[in-house]
Chain A
């Protein structure tokens, strides 16, 4: 499991740029990002190499942020790997709230972030299906 940072943002110009500037200044490297939004607000989801540093920097700026444990799986060398993973989870009664992908800077392999309703059970299911589950340490460097 890895830690995802959620930042509450109003739908105003320049907020995203502001966040990336704050993180860059703090020395936290953004590995993946996705935005879910409504007409009034958005939630910026971030995977960074140093979540603690990033959270502290964002809180210093007075941002409303929280941490969530999410799953990250490697889908690099298995065609249809994502479908295999989601099917396995579906069959075990685990629902996927959302998912987004990112590319590893190290070797260009693809990863997918999965937000499920039961992390522990999902990890078990994925491992049973020989799907690589990425840990926090794997994305530090």
Chain B
């Protein structure tokens, strides 16, 4: 039997959900227009009035919001409430340029906490669990998000924060933490530390983990599940929308249910802005229909994902999003097909080759060409041309079956591919589109 935090919402029929979303969107658009100068300006430029938006179907008429909008209005320019109503600020540490600052009203903190409570209960969390939180606490949303979620659920939050891994293990042992929340890479590190300390993970009470805030693979999931002897679940979020808990995995481990009553997702073609149907990969866009302080309209996440409204074995009707398979920044469109460098990397790894490659895209006449250069390793060297050409064909066939596009494969000498400041260059696009 599935464990719901808010059964009514989580199992709501599509019609009822659309109704709820429509009501919230109409109210949100009104507030954006009246309180956020940038939105008023954008609406006016497009000749849209809040009254034109009557149902969730009308969302596609509205303009997008970009990360640069938050930077350009730094720090508080997109807040839709006076500061008396704010109760919390978080910020994302921009690796380049300014931070993006986000604000929350009491209502916002409440729905964010509920989102995380839904995530924890969907993997079997209850009031009687100790929830060990090893995300960092601070301006970063990870720690506080799961912390408030655990408390909302009525479970016991243990705010360990990150670092001091031996102490983490001590707490896991002595307090008997049931669920751990951290980044997947830190989960691996804790697992390795447990082994190094000579502790058998089977002796720990820990049974599940909720991992997010960085990209991870199915392979890594299996490794974490093995090293910690737990079930590992994915959680998705970004501070601009709320923080962790925007979407969460259930026990079926087949995608993440989006808390769509507050965060409405769309998948769009990143080049044209056109909304794509379920099942098609494109850029994930969120509209914060349930938020007060920072109600972003059609915020471009740059994450590449797809949506599914097919019934889930857990009983939830909340739409599911696939684990993001890349960033739009990295995506190449070659002969109309989306290609991610990470796919090339996976193909090479699946052939037991080192993923040292370079994708060179060019245009001959009107036709895009794709060449994948792969650095040779001693294991790949043969004394005959025939064998090396066969190797090229093997790589090309594997690329073709994964990418659905033919690529010329060229093997090159080791360490001959360009590197920029120590970081490998993966793509050279000579098309100048």
Contact = CB atoms under 8 A, between A and B. Distances in A.
A44 B413 CA distance: 13
B335 to A, nearest CB: 23
Contacts of B416: 10
Contacts of B379: 66
Contact of A36 (B385, B410, B411): B385
Contact of A115 (B377, B383, B412): B383
Contacts of A43: 381-385, 388
A45 B383 contact: yes
B256 to A, nearest CB: 42
A41 B411 CA distance: 8
A59 interface: yes
A6 B414 contact: no
Nearest to A7: B381
B200 interface: no
B378 A66 contact: yes
Interface string A92-114: 00000110000000000000000
Contacts of B389: 38
Given A40-B410, A41-B388, A64 B376 contact: yes
B380 interface: yes
Nearest to A42: B385
Interface in B381-411: 381-385, 388-389, 410-411
A137 interface: no
A28 to B, nearest CB: 17
Nearest to B413: A10
B415 interface: yes
B385 A64 contact: no
Interface in B353-394: 375-385, 388-389
A119 B141 CA distance: 65
A118 interface: no
Contact of B415 (A6, A7, A38, A62): A62
B384 A8 contact: no
Contacts of A115: 383-384
A65 B381 contact: yes
A8 B381 contact: yes
Contacts of B380: 8, 64
Contacts of A36: 384-385
Contacts of B410: 40-41
A90 B385 CA distance: 22
B413 A9 contact: yes
B413 A66 contact: no
Contacts of B378: 59, 64-66
B180 to A, nearest CB: 42
A95 B413 CA distance: 30
Interface in A53-112: 59, 62-66, 68, 70, 97-98
Given A6-B381, A8-B381, A43-B383, A64 B413 contact: yes
Contact of B388 (A8, A62, A70, A97): A8
A58 to B, nearest CB: 9
A24 B378 CA distance: 21
B414 A63 contact: yes
Contacts of B413: 8-10, 62-64
A29 B412 CA distance: 26
A38 B408 CA distance: 15
A134 B413 CA distance: 32
B390 to A, nearest CB: 12
A39 B409 CA distance: 13
B382 A64 contact: no
Contacts of A37: 385
26 contacts: A7-B381, A8-B380, A10-B416, A38-B389, A40-B410, A41-B388, A41-B411, A43-B385, A43-B388, A45-B383, A62-B415, A63-B414, A64-B377, A64-B378, A64-B381, A64-B413, A64-B414, A65-B381, A66-B378, A66-B381, A66-B382, A68-B382, A68-B383, A70-B383, A97-B384, A115-B383
Given A7-B381, A64-B376, 8 more contacts: A6-B382, A8-B376, A9-B413, A37-B385, A41-B388, A41-B412, A43-B388, A64-B378
Among all A-B residue pairs, the 5 with the closest Cβ atoms: A64-B376, A66-B381, A6-B383, A68-B383, A8-B376
Interface of B: 375-385, 388-389, 410-416
